[in-house]
Chain A
Protein backbone atom coordinates (compact mmCIF):
# COMPACT_ATOMS: atom_id res chain seq x y z
CA UNK A 1 0.00 0.00 0.00
CA UNK A 2 1.45 3.32 -1.05
CA UNK A 3 1.61 6.10 1.45
CA UNK A 4 0.03 9.27 0.14
CA UNK A 5 0.35 12.51 2.02
CA UNK A 6 -2.64 14.46 0.68
CA UNK A 7 -6.28 13.50 0.65
CA UNK A 8 -7.23 10.16 -0.89
CA UNK A 9 -10.19 11.83 -2.54
CA UNK A 10 -10.32 15.49 -3.38
CA UNK A 11 -13.32 17.21 -4.95
CA UNK A 12 -13.33 20.91 -5.84
CA UNK A 13 -16.26 22.78 -7.33
CA UNK A 14 -17.75 19.63 -8.86
CA UNK A 15 -20.75 20.17 -11.10
CA UNK A 16 -22.66 17.69 -13.18
CA UNK A 17 -25.66 18.41 -15.37
CA UNK A 18 -27.77 16.10 -17.49
CA UNK A 19 -29.11 18.46 -20.12
CA UNK A 20 -30.82 21.24 -18.22
CA UNK A 21 -31.01 19.27 -15.01
CA UNK A 22 -28.24 19.97 -12.51
CA UNK A 23 -27.61 16.74 -10.61
CA UNK A 24 -24.57 17.99 -8.70
CA UNK A 25 -24.25 21.72 -8.03
CA UNK A 26 -20.80 22.85 -7.02
CA UNK A 27 -19.64 20.57 -4.23
CA UNK A 28 -16.22 20.32 -2.61
CA UNK A 29 -14.84 17.91 -0.04
CA UNK A 30 -11.77 15.88 0.90
CA UNK A 31 -11.51 12.36 2.21
CA UNK A 32 -8.25 11.61 4.00
CA UNK A 33 -6.51 8.21 3.73
CA UNK A 34 -7.97 5.65 6.08
CA UNK A 35 -11.14 7.65 6.57
CA UNK A 36 -14.64 6.29 6.09
CA UNK A 37 -16.74 8.98 4.48
CA UNK A 38 -20.49 8.44 4.32
CA UNK A 39 -22.60 10.45 1.93
CA UNK A 40 -26.20 10.62 3.08
CA UNK A 41 -29.15 12.16 1.35
CA UNK A 42 -32.63 11.59 -0.02
CA UNK A 43 -33.15 9.76 -3.31
CA UNK A 44 -32.17 11.93 -6.24
CA UNK A 45 -29.85 14.10 -4.16
CA UNK A 46 -26.89 13.36 -6.45
CA UNK A 47 -25.06 10.82 -4.29
CA UNK A 48 -24.73 8.18 -6.98
CA UNK A 49 -23.78 10.74 -9.62
CA UNK A 50 -21.02 12.00 -7.32
CA UNK A 51 -19.68 8.55 -6.48
CA UNK A 52 -19.82 7.47 -10.13
CA UNK A 53 -17.76 10.49 -11.16
CA UNK A 54 -15.18 9.48 -8.55
CA UNK A 55 -15.27 5.90 -9.85
CA UNK A 56 -14.63 7.12 -13.38
CA UNK A 57 -17.97 6.08 -14.89
CA UNK A 58 -19.18 9.60 -15.49
CA UNK A 59 -17.50 12.76 -16.57
CA UNK A 60 -17.90 15.93 -14.52
CA UNK A 61 -19.42 18.92 -16.27
CA UNK A 62 -16.92 21.11 -14.44
CA UNK A 63 -14.74 21.11 -11.36
CA UNK A 64 -11.74 19.12 -10.27
CA UNK A 65 -11.74 15.57 -9.01
CA UNK A 66 -8.75 13.58 -7.86
CA UNK A 67 -8.74 10.03 -6.49
CA UNK A 68 -5.37 8.78 -5.23
CA UNK A 69 -3.87 11.53 -7.35
CA UNK A 70 -5.54 10.24 -10.53
CA UNK A 71 -8.20 11.78 -12.68
CA UNK A 72 -10.71 8.90 -12.58
CA UNK A 73 -12.17 9.47 -16.05
CA UNK A 74 -8.87 8.56 -17.70
CA UNK A 75 -9.38 4.95 -16.59
CA UNK A 76 -5.66 4.39 -16.03
CA UNK A 77 -4.91 0.74 -15.22
CA UNK A 78 -2.75 1.94 -12.28
CA UNK A 79 -5.84 3.66 -10.90
CA UNK A 80 -8.13 0.67 -11.46
CA UNK A 81 -5.64 -1.61 -9.69
CA UNK A 82 -6.13 0.35 -6.49
CA UNK A 83 -9.86 0.97 -6.49
CA UNK A 84 -12.66 -1.40 -5.52
CA UNK A 85 -16.21 -0.59 -6.55
CA UNK A 86 -19.56 -1.84 -5.34
CA UNK A 87 -22.20 -0.41 -7.64
CA UNK A 88 -25.74 0.32 -6.56
CA UNK A 89 -27.02 -2.27 -9.01
CA UNK A 90 -25.93 -5.84 -8.40
CA UNK A 91 -23.68 -6.86 -11.27
CA UNK A 92 -22.45 -10.43 -11.43
CA UNK A 93 -25.22 -12.79 -12.42
CA UNK A 94 -23.42 -15.57 -14.20
CA UNK A 95 -23.57 -19.29 -14.67
CA UNK A 96 -20.21 -19.47 -12.92
CA UNK A 97 -19.90 -20.48 -9.29
CA UNK A 98 -19.14 -17.95 -6.58
CA UNK A 99 -15.57 -19.23 -6.38
CA UNK A 100 -15.07 -19.12 -10.16
CA UNK A 101 -16.44 -15.60 -10.34
CA UNK A 102 -13.99 -14.42 -7.68
CA UNK A 103 -11.15 -16.30 -9.42
CA UNK A 104 -12.05 -14.57 -12.66
CA UNK A 105 -12.17 -11.08 -11.19
CA UNK A 106 -8.99 -11.84 -9.24
CA UNK A 107 -7.24 -12.58 -12.54
CA UNK A 108 -7.93 -8.99 -13.64
CA UNK A 109 -5.58 -7.62 -10.98
CA UNK A 110 -1.81 -7.89 -10.78
CA UNK A 111 -1.90 -8.12 -7.01
CA UNK A 112 -5.03 -9.83 -5.78
CA UNK A 113 -6.25 -11.39 -2.57
CA UNK A 114 -6.75 -15.13 -2.58
CA UNK A 115 -10.28 -16.25 -3.35
CA UNK A 116 -10.41 -18.13 -0.05
CA UNK A 117 -9.53 -15.01 1.90
CA UNK A 118 -12.27 -13.03 0.14
CA UNK A 119 -14.84 -15.81 0.61
CA UNK A 120 -14.14 -15.64 4.31
CA UNK A 121 -14.19 -11.84 4.42
CA UNK A 122 -17.66 -11.69 2.89
CA UNK A 123 -18.92 -14.85 4.55
CA UNK A 124 -19.63 -16.85 1.41
CA UNK A 125 -17.56 -19.94 2.22
CA UNK A 126 -20.64 -22.16 2.24
CA UNK A 127 -21.82 -20.82 -1.12
CA UNK A 128 -18.44 -21.05 -2.88
CA UNK A 129 -19.59 -23.92 -5.12
CA UNK A 130 -23.04 -22.47 -5.82
CA UNK A 131 -23.82 -20.99 -9.23
CA UNK A 132 -24.19 -17.20 -8.94
CA UNK A 133 -27.57 -17.20 -10.72
CA UNK A 134 -28.99 -19.37 -7.95
CA UNK A 135 -27.79 -17.61 -4.80
CA UNK A 136 -29.99 -15.14 -2.91
CA UNK A 137 -30.05 -11.40 -3.47
CA UNK A 138 -28.20 -10.71 -0.23
CA UNK A 139 -25.54 -13.26 -1.13
CA UNK A 140 -25.12 -11.69 -4.58
CA UNK A 141 -24.62 -8.35 -2.87
CA UNK A 142 -21.92 -9.87 -0.68
CA UNK A 143 -20.33 -11.30 -3.80
CA UNK A 144 -20.27 -7.76 -5.24
CA UNK A 145 -18.40 -6.64 -2.14
CA UNK A 146 -16.06 -9.62 -2.54
CA UNK A 147 -15.39 -8.66 -6.17
CA UNK A 148 -14.58 -5.12 -5.04
CA UNK A 149 -12.17 -6.44 -2.42
CA UNK A 150 -10.32 -8.99 -4.50
CA UNK A 151 -7.85 -6.47 -5.95
CA UNK A 152 -6.69 -5.32 -2.48
CA UNK A 153 -7.98 -1.81 -3.08
CA UNK A 154 -6.64 1.29 -1.33
CA UNK A 155 -10.01 2.92 -1.84
CA UNK A 156 -13.34 1.19 -1.66
CA UNK A 157 -16.46 2.82 -3.11
CA UNK A 158 -19.73 1.42 -1.80
CA UNK A 159 -23.00 2.67 -3.28
CA UNK A 160 -25.72 1.54 -0.88
CA UNK A 161 -23.83 -1.63 -0.04
CA UNK A 162 -26.29 -3.25 2.37
CA UNK A 163 -29.65 -2.42 0.81
CA UNK A 164 -31.78 -5.53 0.99
CA UNK A 165 -29.74 -7.20 3.74
CA UNK A 166 -31.30 -8.75 6.78
CA UNK A 167 -30.20 -7.04 10.01
CA UNK A 168 -27.72 -9.76 10.90
CA UNK A 169 -26.06 -9.74 7.48
CA UNK A 170 -25.93 -5.95 7.60
CA UNK A 171 -24.19 -6.04 10.95
CA UNK A 172 -21.73 -8.63 9.62
CA UNK A 173 -20.95 -6.44 6.60
CA UNK A 174 -20.30 -3.47 8.85
CA UNK A 175 -17.83 -5.49 10.88
CA UNK A 176 -16.16 -6.55 7.65
CA UNK A 177 -15.89 -3.00 6.28
CA UNK A 178 -14.71 -1.79 9.66
CA UNK A 179 -11.93 -4.40 9.63
CA UNK A 180 -10.85 -3.24 6.19
CA UNK A 181 -10.38 0.29 7.42
CA UNK A 182 -8.14 -1.09 10.13
CA UNK A 183 -5.94 -2.28 7.26
CA UNK A 184 -5.71 1.32 6.02
CA UNK A 185 -8.32 1.16 3.29
CA UNK A 186 -10.14 4.42 2.57
CA UNK A 187 -13.88 3.97 2.18
CA UNK A 188 -16.50 6.18 0.62
CA UNK A 189 -20.06 5.00 0.88
CA UNK A 190 -23.55 6.21 0.22
CA UNK A 191 -26.37 4.91 2.34
CA UNK A 192 -29.94 5.42 3.47
CA UNK A 193 -29.30 3.77 6.81
CA UNK A 194 -28.34 6.18 9.57
CA UNK A 195 -27.09 3.34 11.77
CA UNK A 196 -24.80 2.33 8.94
CA UNK A 197 -23.25 5.79 8.80
CA UNK A 198 -23.13 5.95 12.58
CA UNK A 199 -21.40 2.59 12.85
CA UNK A 200 -18.94 2.97 10.00
CA UNK A 201 -18.26 6.57 9.15
CA UNK A 202 -15.54 8.78 10.53
CA UNK A 203 -16.96 11.71 8.60
CA UNK A 204 -20.34 12.38 7.13
CA UNK A 205 -21.74 14.55 4.37
CA UNK A 206 -25.44 15.19 3.90
CA UNK A 207 -26.35 15.91 0.33
CA UNK A 208 -29.64 17.54 -0.71
CA UNK A 209 -30.62 18.55 -4.25
CA UNK A 210 -27.10 18.33 -5.62
CA UNK A 211 -25.47 20.33 -2.83
CA UNK A 212 -23.72 19.37 0.36
CA UNK A 213 -25.96 20.72 3.09
CA UNK A 214 -23.84 19.58 6.02
CA UNK A 215 -20.41 17.99 6.25
CA UNK A 216 -17.94 17.21 8.98
CA UNK A 217 -16.30 14.63 11.19
CA UNK A 218 -18.86 12.41 12.88
CA UNK A 219 -17.96 13.65 16.39
CA UNK A 220 -18.58 17.26 15.36
CA UNK A 221 -21.97 16.41 13.96
CA UNK A 222 -22.76 14.45 17.07
CA UNK A 223 -21.70 17.27 19.35
CA UNK A 224 -24.20 19.41 17.49
CA UNK A 225 -26.69 16.82 18.48
CA UNK A 226 -25.93 17.18 22.19
CA UNK A 227 -29.09 17.69 24.04
CA UNK A 228 -32.23 15.70 24.17
CA UNK A 229 -35.81 15.87 23.19
CA UNK A 230 -38.48 15.54 25.86
CA UNK A 231 -41.97 14.69 24.71
CA UNK A 232 -45.24 13.93 26.50
CA UNK A 233 -49.02 14.13 26.29
CA UNK A 234 -50.73 16.63 28.58
CA UNK A 235 -53.83 18.80 28.76
CA UNK A 236 -53.95 22.02 26.69
CA UNK A 237 -54.26 24.05 29.91
CA UNK A 238 -51.09 22.48 31.29
CA UNK A 239 -49.24 23.17 28.05
CA UNK A 240 -50.34 26.76 28.08
CA UNK A 241 -49.24 27.16 31.68
CA UNK A 242 -45.80 25.76 30.83
CA UNK A 243 -45.44 28.17 27.94
CA UNK A 244 -46.76 31.36 29.52
CA UNK A 245 -45.85 31.01 33.19
CA UNK A 246 -42.67 28.99 32.97
CA UNK A 247 -41.31 30.02 29.54
CA UNK A 248 -41.01 26.45 28.31
CA UNK A 249 -40.34 26.38 24.56
CA UNK A 250 -42.83 23.76 23.47
CA UNK A 251 -43.70 22.45 20.07
CA UNK A 252 -47.23 21.10 19.92
CA UNK A 253 -47.50 18.27 17.45
CA UNK A 254 -50.65 17.28 15.56
CA UNK A 255 -50.49 13.91 17.30
CA UNK A 256 -51.12 15.65 20.66
CA UNK A 257 -47.50 15.37 21.67
CA UNK A 258 -45.74 18.30 23.24
CA UNK A 259 -42.05 18.34 22.46
CA UNK A 260 -39.23 20.41 23.87
CA UNK A 261 -35.51 20.51 23.23
CA UNK A 262 -33.43 20.26 26.36
CA UNK A 263 -29.77 20.73 27.12
CA UNK A 264 -30.26 20.24 30.84
CA UNK A 265 -32.37 17.16 31.05
CA UNK A 266 -32.21 16.65 34.83
CA UNK A 267 -33.34 20.17 35.61
CA UNK A 268 -36.01 20.36 32.92
CA UNK A 269 -37.46 17.00 33.81
CA UNK A 270 -37.49 17.86 37.51
CA UNK A 271 -39.38 21.09 36.84
CA UNK A 272 -41.77 19.41 34.45
CA UNK A 273 -42.65 16.48 36.69
CA UNK A 274 -42.93 18.68 39.80
CA UNK A 275 -45.38 20.96 38.03
CA UNK A 276 -47.33 18.03 36.69
CA UNK A 277 -47.59 16.55 40.16
CA UNK A 278 -48.76 19.87 41.62
CA UNK A 279 -51.40 20.23 38.91
CA UNK A 280 -52.30 16.53 39.05
CA UNK A 281 -51.59 16.19 35.35
CA UNK A 282 -50.79 12.74 34.13
CA UNK A 283 -47.82 13.05 31.72
CA UNK A 284 -48.70 10.09 29.58
CA UNK A 285 -46.14 8.83 27.09
CA UNK A 286 -43.31 10.80 28.68
CA UNK A 287 -40.18 10.19 26.63
CA UNK A 288 -36.64 11.46 26.74
CA UNK A 289 -34.61 10.89 23.60
CA UNK A 290 -31.11 11.87 22.68
CA UNK A 291 -30.98 13.56 19.31
CA UNK A 292 -29.58 11.13 16.85
CA UNK A 293 -27.84 11.43 13.53
CA UNK A 294 -31.26 10.75 12.05
CA UNK A 295 -32.67 13.86 13.76
CA UNK A 296 -29.81 15.95 12.41
CA UNK A 297 -30.31 14.43 8.99
CA UNK A 298 -34.02 15.15 8.92
CA UNK A 299 -33.52 18.68 10.23
CA UNK A 300 -30.85 19.35 7.61
CA UNK A 301 -32.98 18.04 4.76
CA UNK A 302 -36.11 19.84 5.96
CA UNK A 303 -34.22 23.05 6.55
CA UNK A 304 -32.81 22.80 3.05
CA UNK A 305 -36.16 22.21 1.41
CA UNK A 306 -37.59 25.17 3.34
CA UNK A 307 -34.84 27.64 2.58
CA UNK A 308 -33.46 26.16 -0.64
CA UNK A 309 -29.90 26.38 0.61
CA UNK A 310 -27.51 24.68 3.04
CA UNK A 311 -27.77 25.63 6.70
Chain B
Protein backbone atom coordinates (compact mmCIF):
# COMPACT_ATOMS: atom_id res chain seq x y z
CA UNK B 1 0.00 0.00 0.00
CA UNK B 2 2.76 2.41 0.89
CA UNK B 3 4.48 1.67 -2.42
CA UNK B 4 1.26 2.34 -4.31
CA UNK B 5 0.78 5.61 -2.42
CA UNK B 6 4.35 6.65 -3.10
CA UNK B 7 4.01 5.87 -6.81
CA UNK B 8 0.67 7.71 -6.96
CA UNK B 9 2.14 10.73 -5.21
CA UNK B 10 5.03 10.87 -7.69
CA UNK B 11 2.83 10.29 -10.74
CA UNK B 12 0.69 13.14 -9.54
CA UNK B 13 3.69 15.38 -8.92
CA UNK B 14 5.06 14.67 -12.40
CA UNK B 15 1.72 15.59 -13.93
CA UNK B 16 1.60 19.02 -12.35
CA UNK B 17 5.28 19.66 -13.09
CA UNK B 18 4.33 19.93 -16.74
CA UNK B 19 1.86 22.81 -16.48
CA UNK B 20 1.31 23.14 -20.22
CA UNK B 21 -0.01 19.60 -20.45
CA UNK B 22 -1.95 19.89 -17.17
CA UNK B 23 -3.68 23.17 -18.04
CA UNK B 24 -4.74 22.04 -21.50
CA UNK B 25 -6.17 18.83 -20.10
CA UNK B 26 -8.61 20.99 -18.15
CA UNK B 27 -9.12 23.74 -20.71
CA UNK B 28 -10.03 21.24 -23.44
CA UNK B 29 -13.57 20.42 -22.19
CA UNK B 30 -14.25 24.08 -21.38
CA UNK B 31 -13.48 25.00 -24.98
CA UNK B 32 -15.97 22.36 -26.10
CA UNK B 33 -18.61 23.69 -23.72
CA UNK B 34 -18.09 27.16 -25.15
CA UNK B 35 -18.25 25.92 -28.76
CA UNK B 36 -21.37 23.81 -28.19
CA UNK B 37 -23.30 26.59 -26.49
CA UNK B 38 -22.19 29.06 -29.15
CA UNK B 39 -23.27 26.83 -32.05
CA UNK B 40 -26.37 25.16 -30.61
CA UNK B 41 -27.49 27.90 -28.24
CA UNK B 42 -28.29 27.83 -24.56
CA UNK B 43 -32.07 28.24 -24.53
CA UNK B 44 -34.15 27.04 -21.63
CA UNK B 45 -36.07 23.82 -22.17
CA UNK B 46 -39.24 23.13 -20.23
CA UNK B 47 -40.85 19.69 -19.89
CA UNK B 48 -44.63 19.20 -19.94
CA UNK B 49 -44.44 18.55 -16.20
CA UNK B 50 -43.02 22.02 -15.74
CA UNK B 51 -39.34 21.23 -15.12
CA UNK B 52 -36.81 23.34 -16.93
CA UNK B 53 -33.09 23.41 -17.64
CA UNK B 54 -30.69 25.32 -19.87
CA UNK B 55 -29.51 23.57 -23.03
CA UNK B 56 -25.89 23.65 -21.75
CA UNK B 57 -26.89 21.03 -19.15
CA UNK B 58 -27.45 18.56 -22.00
CA UNK B 59 -24.02 19.19 -23.53
CA UNK B 60 -22.27 18.24 -20.30
CA UNK B 61 -22.44 14.42 -20.60
CA UNK B 62 -21.13 14.49 -24.18
CA UNK B 63 -18.28 16.77 -23.22
CA UNK B 64 -17.45 14.62 -20.22
CA UNK B 65 -17.50 11.43 -22.30
CA UNK B 66 -15.12 13.08 -24.73
CA UNK B 67 -12.86 14.31 -21.91
CA UNK B 68 -12.79 10.92 -20.20
CA UNK B 69 -11.76 9.20 -23.42
CA UNK B 70 -9.16 11.89 -23.98
CA UNK B 71 -7.71 11.81 -20.47
CA UNK B 72 -7.62 8.06 -20.02
CA UNK B 73 -7.50 6.28 -23.35
CA UNK B 74 -5.66 8.73 -25.60
CA UNK B 75 -3.19 10.20 -23.15
CA UNK B 76 -2.40 6.91 -21.39
CA UNK B 77 -1.75 5.03 -24.65
CA UNK B 78 0.56 7.79 -25.85
CA UNK B 79 2.28 8.30 -22.51
CA UNK B 80 2.99 4.61 -21.99
CA UNK B 81 4.37 4.27 -25.52
CA UNK B 82 6.72 7.17 -24.88
CA UNK B 83 7.79 5.72 -21.51
CA UNK B 84 8.35 2.35 -23.15
CA UNK B 85 10.40 3.78 -26.04
CA UNK B 86 12.44 5.90 -23.65
CA UNK B 87 13.44 2.86 -21.62
CA UNK B 88 11.74 4.05 -18.42
CA UNK B 89 9.35 1.09 -18.28
CA UNK B 90 12.28 -1.23 -18.76
CA UNK B 91 14.09 0.42 -15.88
CA UNK B 92 11.06 0.05 -13.61
CA UNK B 93 10.65 -3.56 -14.73
CA UNK B 94 14.15 -4.25 -13.43
CA UNK B 95 13.16 -3.34 -9.86
CA UNK B 96 11.17 -5.36 -7.32
CA UNK B 97 8.11 -3.09 -7.78
CA UNK B 98 5.19 -5.35 -8.71
CA UNK B 99 4.18 -4.10 -12.12
CA UNK B 100 0.50 -4.13 -11.16
CA UNK B 101 1.24 -1.37 -8.62
CA UNK B 102 2.86 0.73 -11.32
CA UNK B 103 -0.21 0.33 -13.53
CA UNK B 104 -2.70 0.76 -10.69
CA UNK B 105 -1.05 4.00 -9.72
CA UNK B 106 -1.37 5.34 -13.26
CA UNK B 107 -5.08 4.43 -13.35
CA UNK B 108 -5.73 5.89 -9.89
CA UNK B 109 -4.01 9.06 -11.00
CA UNK B 110 -6.27 9.27 -14.04
CA UNK B 111 -9.36 8.74 -11.88
CA UNK B 112 -8.14 11.57 -9.69
CA UNK B 113 -7.49 13.86 -12.68
CA UNK B 114 -10.84 12.84 -14.22
CA UNK B 115 -12.75 13.79 -11.07
CA UNK B 116 -10.98 17.15 -10.89
CA UNK B 117 -11.81 17.69 -14.54
CA UNK B 118 -15.50 16.89 -13.99
CA UNK B 119 -15.59 19.26 -11.02
CA UNK B 120 -14.04 22.03 -13.11
CA UNK B 121 -16.45 21.50 -16.02
CA UNK B 122 -19.47 21.49 -13.72
CA UNK B 123 -18.31 24.55 -11.79
CA UNK B 124 -17.56 26.48 -14.95
CA UNK B 125 -20.85 25.32 -16.53
CA UNK B 126 -22.80 26.25 -13.43
CA UNK B 127 -21.34 29.75 -13.19
CA UNK B 128 -21.28 30.70 -16.87
CA UNK B 129 -24.10 28.70 -18.44
CA UNK B 130 -26.35 27.94 -15.49
CA UNK B 131 -25.87 24.20 -15.92
CA UNK B 132 -27.96 22.06 -13.58
CA UNK B 133 -25.89 19.82 -11.34
CA UNK B 134 -26.92 16.22 -10.69
CA UNK B 135 -28.54 15.70 -7.30
CA UNK B 136 -30.52 12.45 -7.10
CA UNK B 137 -28.30 11.07 -9.88
CA UNK B 138 -25.00 12.13 -8.28
CA UNK B 139 -23.97 8.56 -7.31
CA UNK B 140 -24.78 7.34 -10.83
CA UNK B 141 -22.85 10.25 -12.38
CA UNK B 142 -19.80 9.62 -10.20
CA UNK B 143 -19.75 5.87 -10.65
CA UNK B 144 -20.36 6.03 -14.40
CA UNK B 145 -17.51 8.53 -14.77
CA UNK B 146 -15.07 6.47 -12.68
CA UNK B 147 -16.01 3.26 -14.46
CA UNK B 148 -15.48 5.06 -17.75
CA UNK B 149 -12.01 6.22 -16.74
CA UNK B 150 -10.99 2.76 -15.53
CA UNK B 151 -12.36 1.06 -18.65
CA UNK B 152 -10.73 3.47 -21.05
CA UNK B 153 -7.45 3.28 -19.13
CA UNK B 154 -7.48 -0.49 -19.57
CA UNK B 155 -8.26 -0.04 -23.26
CA UNK B 156 -5.47 2.55 -23.54
CA UNK B 157 -3.00 0.09 -22.02
CA UNK B 158 -4.26 -2.65 -24.33
CA UNK B 159 -3.87 -0.35 -27.33
CA UNK B 160 -0.26 0.42 -26.30
CA UNK B 161 0.57 -3.18 -27.08
CA UNK B 162 -0.45 -2.63 -30.71
CA UNK B 163 1.60 0.53 -31.16
CA UNK B 164 5.08 -0.26 -32.47
CA UNK B 165 6.72 3.02 -31.44
CA UNK B 166 5.89 6.45 -30.10
CA UNK B 167 6.12 8.10 -33.53
CA UNK B 168 3.20 5.95 -34.63
CA UNK B 169 1.23 6.52 -31.42
CA UNK B 170 -0.80 9.65 -32.33
CA UNK B 171 -1.87 8.25 -35.71
CA UNK B 172 -2.89 4.86 -34.34
CA UNK B 173 -4.62 6.22 -31.24
CA UNK B 174 -6.59 8.85 -33.17
CA UNK B 175 -7.56 6.43 -35.90
CA UNK B 176 -8.84 4.00 -33.30
CA UNK B 177 -10.94 6.49 -31.35
CA UNK B 178 -12.09 9.44 -33.49
CA UNK B 179 -14.48 7.47 -35.73
CA UNK B 180 -16.06 5.95 -32.62
CA UNK B 181 -16.60 9.38 -31.11
CA UNK B 182 -18.65 10.31 -34.18
CA UNK B 183 -20.87 7.24 -34.11
CA UNK B 184 -21.50 7.11 -30.36
CA UNK B 185 -24.05 9.88 -29.79
CA UNK B 186 -21.45 12.38 -28.69
CA UNK B 187 -21.29 15.01 -31.41
CA UNK B 188 -24.20 13.93 -33.55
CA UNK B 189 -27.43 12.25 -32.40
CA UNK B 190 -27.34 8.74 -33.79
CA UNK B 191 -30.96 8.71 -34.98
CA UNK B 192 -29.76 10.78 -37.89
CA UNK B 193 -27.37 8.02 -38.94
CA UNK B 194 -28.20 4.85 -40.91
CA UNK B 195 -29.20 1.91 -38.74
CA UNK B 196 -26.18 -0.19 -39.54
CA UNK B 197 -23.87 2.63 -38.45
CA UNK B 198 -25.78 3.08 -35.20
CA UNK B 199 -25.52 -0.64 -34.67
CA UNK B 200 -21.76 -0.59 -35.13
CA UNK B 201 -21.51 2.36 -32.77
CA UNK B 202 -23.52 0.52 -30.14
CA UNK B 203 -21.01 -2.33 -30.10
CA UNK B 204 -18.20 -0.11 -28.88
CA UNK B 205 -17.54 1.27 -25.40
CA UNK B 206 -17.73 4.98 -26.23
CA UNK B 207 -21.43 4.58 -26.97
CA UNK B 208 -22.05 2.94 -23.59
CA UNK B 209 -20.05 5.57 -21.73
CA UNK B 210 -21.91 8.31 -23.53
CA UNK B 211 -25.34 6.79 -22.69
CA UNK B 212 -24.44 6.10 -19.07
CA UNK B 213 -23.47 9.74 -18.67
CA UNK B 214 -26.45 11.13 -20.62
CA UNK B 215 -28.85 9.46 -18.19
CA UNK B 216 -26.75 10.19 -15.10
CA UNK B 217 -26.55 13.90 -15.95
CA UNK B 218 -30.15 14.22 -17.16
CA UNK B 219 -31.71 17.06 -15.13
CA UNK B 220 -35.21 15.60 -15.63
CA UNK B 221 -34.21 12.14 -14.42
CA UNK B 222 -36.55 11.03 -11.61
CA UNK B 223 -34.78 7.74 -10.81
CA UNK B 224 -31.24 7.10 -9.62
CA UNK B 225 -29.88 7.43 -13.16
CA UNK B 226 -27.94 4.17 -13.35
CA UNK B 227 -27.90 2.75 -16.88
CA UNK B 228 -27.19 -0.79 -15.78
CA UNK B 229 -26.99 -2.39 -19.20
CA UNK B 230 -24.63 0.29 -20.52
CA UNK B 231 -22.51 0.09 -17.37
CA UNK B 232 -22.34 -3.68 -17.76
CA UNK B 233 -21.23 -3.33 -21.38
CA UNK B 234 -18.63 -0.78 -20.29
CA UNK B 235 -17.36 -3.18 -17.62
CA UNK B 236 -17.17 -5.93 -20.22
CA UNK B 237 -14.97 -3.75 -22.39
CA UNK B 238 -12.86 -2.92 -19.34
CA UNK B 239 -12.32 -6.62 -18.72
CA UNK B 240 -11.42 -7.26 -22.36
CA UNK B 241 -9.00 -4.33 -22.27
CA UNK B 242 -7.40 -5.61 -19.06
CA UNK B 243 -6.95 -9.12 -20.42
CA UNK B 244 -5.36 -7.86 -23.62
CA UNK B 245 -3.16 -5.46 -21.65
CA UNK B 246 -1.97 -8.17 -19.25
CA UNK B 247 -1.31 -10.64 -22.05
CA UNK B 248 0.38 -8.33 -24.52
CA UNK B 249 1.82 -5.38 -22.63
CA UNK B 250 5.50 -4.88 -23.33
CA UNK B 251 7.94 -3.27 -20.90
CA UNK B 252 10.83 -3.15 -23.26
CA UNK B 253 11.01 -1.01 -26.39
CA UNK B 254 9.79 -2.65 -29.58
CA UNK B 255 12.26 -2.71 -32.41
Contacts and interface: CB of A to CB of B under 8 A. Distances in A.
A81 B91 contact: no
Interface of B: 2-3, 6-7, 10, 13-15, 17-18, 86-88, 90-98, 252-253
Given A92-B88, A108-B3, A77 B96 contact: yes
Contact of B18 (A80, A95, A110): A95
B14 A109 contact: no
A96 B17 contact: yes
Given A83-B94, A131-B17, 18 more contacts: A80-B96, A85-B91, A85-B94, A87-B94, A89-B90, A91-B86, A91-B87, A91-B88, A91-B91, A92-B88, A95-B13, A95-B14, A100-B10, A103-B6, A104-B7, A109-B96, A151-B95, A151-B96
Provide the main secondary structure of the chain B interface.
helix
B98 A77 contact: yes
Interface residues of A, number: 29
A304 interface: no
Interface of A: 55-57, 77, 80-81, 83, 85, 87, 89-96, 100, 103-105, 107-110, 131, 144, 147, 151
A77 B99 CA distance: 11
A52 to B, nearest CB: 8
Contacts of B96: 77, 80-81, 108-110, 151
Contact of A107 (B2, B15, B94): B2
Contacts of B18: 95
B221 to A, nearest CB: 41
A93 B166 CA distance: 15
Contact of B14 (A85, A90, A96, A144): A96
Contacts of A77: 96, 98
Contacts of B14: 94-96
Main secondary structure of the interface of A (DSSP, over half): loop
A112 B149 CA distance: 34
Nearest to A106: B6
Contacts of A57: 90, 93-94, 252
Contact of A92 (B6, B7, B91): B91
A104 B91 CA distance: 12
16 contacts: A80-B94, A81-B96, A85-B91, A85-B94, A89-B90, A91-B87, A93-B86, A95-B17, A103-B10, A104-B6, A104-B10, A108-B95, A108-B97, A109-B96, A144-B91, A151-B95
